[in-house]
Structure 1
Amino acid sequence: MKVKRIVTNVAAESVSSVQKFYSDLFGLDVVMDHGWIVTLASGETAAVQISVASEGGSGTPVPDLSIEVDDVDAAYALSKKFGHEIAYELTDEPWGVRRFYVRDPAGKLLNVLSHPD
């Protein structure tokens, strides 16, 4: 048996506000909408991964989701522009990523990161 895909489900009282957050901040497109559930996608392909952690690194809590982007500085600037709650400021970590934490409207803690080129 092979795992083909892993989907993250975010429980939300307002599906539309959480959908708007992810669409506006990450440019994700709606690929399915049944009203009670909306699926967003980017068209990118990535390896199937699950991380298991006792902390988030640098003394931070374990985030609910990690989202790798090509330009973390742009994502951070958009987060600030939209007034999203920044839970951990933009930081160059000693293990080689640049990242910040932001909360989505459902309260999920996101680790938004880039690896250096």
Structure 2
Amino acid sequence: MLRSSYPVLCAGDVAASAEFYREHFGFEATFESDWYVSLRHPATSSELAILDPTHESMPAGYGTVARGVLVNLELDDVDAVAARLEAAGVPVVQSLRSEPFGQRHIIVRDPGGVLVDVITEIAPSPEFLAAFRRDA
């Protein structure tokens, strides 16, 4: 039986990436070394980890920094968080906007190059409302 699931993001500067998630989103370290940091959010128990891609635990040929990864973080007030991220100089990849599929969001980049989609759910348009499963 599955006990947990969480992303492990490869980053060239593990400490900087871990600090990004602590400072801007309130994650706390549950394990910390120079090559791996495990993070958990105290309010939701959501987890993620940061790994040095050159560490010996990585299979040969896979020691690259994360690319093509989008981490979604759903929050209560994306507008306030977006203003705080922009004021802190966090690189914005996509400006704050509302989507017809039911999200208001901003996409930023963490120090390791991973895209972070910061989201608040909003009512979807009628065309997208039909795509949502009522029993889910």
TM-score of the alignment, normalized to the shorter chain, above 0.5: yes
Q: Which has the higher strand share?
A: 2
Q: Does the alignment pair 1:36 with 2:35? A: yes
Unaligned runs of 5+ in 1: 47-61
Residue 78 of structure 1: aligned partner: 84
Indicate if the aligned counterparts of 1:63 and 1:111 stay in contact, CA closer than 8 A. Answer: no
- Give the letter for the 1:20 counterpart: E
Identical-residue share of aligned pairs (%): 29
- TM-score (normalised: structure 1): 0.77
> Quick one: distance in 2 between partners of 1:27 and 1:103?
17
- The aligned length equals 101
Superimposed CA distance per residue, residues 26-76 of structure 1 (whole angstroms, 9 cap, x where no aligned partner): 011111113311111113157xxxxxxxxxxxxxxx752111112211221
In the TM superposition, residue 7 of structure 1 has moved relative to its aligned partner by 1.5
Unaligned runs of 5+ in 2: 47-67, 124-136
Match of 1:96 among 98, 102, 107: 102
**Inter-CA distance 63–101: structure 2 relative to 1 (3 Å threshold):** farther
Greater C-alpha Rg: 2
Residue 10 of structure 2: aligned partner: 11
- Give the letter for the 1:19 counterpart: A
> Quick one: distance in 1 between partners of 2:41 and 2:89?
23
> Quick one: distance in 2 between partners of 1:28 and 1:76?
17
- TM-score (normalised: structure 2): 0.67
